[in-house]
Amino acid sequence: MDGFIFYWLSWVTVVIVYFFMKPSFVRTRLLVFSLVTIILSSFSFTWFFIEWNFAYFSFILLCLVSMMRLKKIQLAFGLIVSFVIANWLLIIHRAAYIEPVWLIWPPLWLVSSITILSLVIFFRHFHTRIYSLIGGVFQGIILTSMMNLIDPSLSVERYSGIESLFVLDVLSLSICSVICWTKAETVAKSLKENYIHSSYRSVQQNTKMNA
């Protein structure tokens, strides 16, 4: 059911932020962002064969905030990878309508898996991953819509583009996965540094004792 993952992850985020974060401006901002996004997701309109959900504005804002924290070279590289993500989204979504037999997984999990894998392989910076992810998904929406106009073999009734709740599922699942992966990388890096530091101190102590 489209939208289930988005709403589930959104409310889990609200619960975690409200009950497990200390009162602060960051906590308030995250709560407001999550609740406003949930409320906006109930409203949408169709324009140019695209179902535009008002919750998109929250993700566009998140993308712009990430862009402000990046250098020009990071923006350029992120744009290239986002175009790759957009084409994967187009190919998988079109295959779901035309040749669904070869799809081993449901389109949601296939798109999200390829997107997350691409972000982890090509980027190490958190904001670059978020920028490339959101940019790629929205480019994919536009490319899918353009396919209605370019390919006369696809009728609007049969191939009407990507549903907004499907997009929200992909975005929420991918962003949560990126956050978890980035946090795991940070913890692993910290443990590695502590291990190296403790090993270095142990070697120094043994050297002093032998001296």
Domain that holds residue 89: 45-192
- Averaged pLDDT of the chain: 84
pTM (predicted TM-score): 0.84
Which whole number is the average pLDDT over 77-106? 79
Res 151 pLDDT > 70: no
Q: Residue-wise over 63-95: b if at least 16 C-beta within 10 A, else e?
A: beebbeebeeebeebbeebbbbbbebbbebbbe
Which whole number is the average pLDDT over 147-158? 58
Position 158 scores a pLDDT of: 44
Task: End-to-end CA distance of the chain: give it in Å, rounded.
Answer: 70
pLDDT tens for 21-77 read 888 898 999 999 999 999 999 998 887 777 889 999 999 999 999 999 999 999 999
Number of C-beta neighbours around residue 51 at 10 A: 19
The answer to whether residue 2 is domain-embedded is no
pLDDT tens for 109-126 read 888 888 999 999 999 899
Structural domain count, the chain: 1
The answer to whether residue 134 is domain-embedded is yes
Q: Under a CB-based contact definition with an 8 Å cutoff, are residues 70 and 131 in contact?
A: yes
